[in-house]
Amino acid sequence: DGGITQSPKYLFRKEGQNVTLSCEQNLNHDAMYWYRQDPGQGLRLIYYSQIVNDFQKGDIAEGYSVSREKKESFPLTVTSAQKNPTAFYLCASSMRGDQPQHFGDGTRLSIL
Amino acid sequence: SQQGEEDPQALSIQEGENATMNCSYKTSINNLQWYRQNSGRGLVHLILIRSNEREKHSGRLRVTLDTSKKSSSLLITASRAADTASYFCATDRGETSGSRLTFGEGTQLTVNP
């Protein structure tokens, strides 16, 4: 079955530590996205990538970094510079053009 | 800043009733999309309506779009307990060749059996 896989489902970060969230898709989609969702709120865009080896900042990119070395993969690193990282992180992908986004089941990040 | 705002924030109805959720936005759009999110899960796409369309149907879902009022509504008819979820509208301003969406804060729908 085609889809998006996010791992791990739960992640804990210690002070001063960088952590990396994985996102893999086998839908052959060109575009991939990372969102942050805080309790009871909507999604805010962190980074997005429309093509391999290219990505753009979204609305809340500070304290985060990404790479897009392969079409299938778009990992997100939450750096120690992100002072309030506790949230639910969602990865999505889409075809180019006027198309809906397909979402993974998220990673819940907490601080130890 | 959030482009879309949903109304109401929460809605509780009985099974079999209809549920209507509204979304308002601020700038011109290329399309507007509705998504559903079950607790602790990812979002699932429900329906996409383009700026030149006024109404779309999909099963028990009906979406309207009024670009002059910058608003959209999602109607779920004959609701079921399984419809209990959060519903989000998202706008695409057509700024990229992909689909850069701006999400509202959602409506929490509870359907009581």
Distance, CA of A64 to CA of A85 (rounded, Å): 10
Cβ count within 10 A of residue B39 = 8
Alpha helices in A1-112 (DSSP H): none
pLDDT at B2: 47
pLDDT at A2 over 60: yes
Tell me the three state secondary structure of residue B83.
helix
pLDDT at B57: 97
B106 contacts A100? CB cut-off 8 A? no
Cβ count within 10 A of residue A29 = 20
- How much of chain B, in percent, has pLDDT values that exceed 70? 93
Token readout for A48 is 């997005």
Tell me the three state secondary structure of residue A97.
coil
| Minimal C-alpha gap between A61 and chain B (Å) | 14
What is the tens place of the pLDDT at every residue in B2-17? 466 888 999 999 999 9
Probe site for chain B from A47, A88, A98 (most B CB atoms < 10 A): A98
B98 contacts A41? CB cut-off 8 A? no
pLDDT at B97 over 70: no
Q: Is residue B57 less than 8 Å (CB to CB) from chain A? A: no
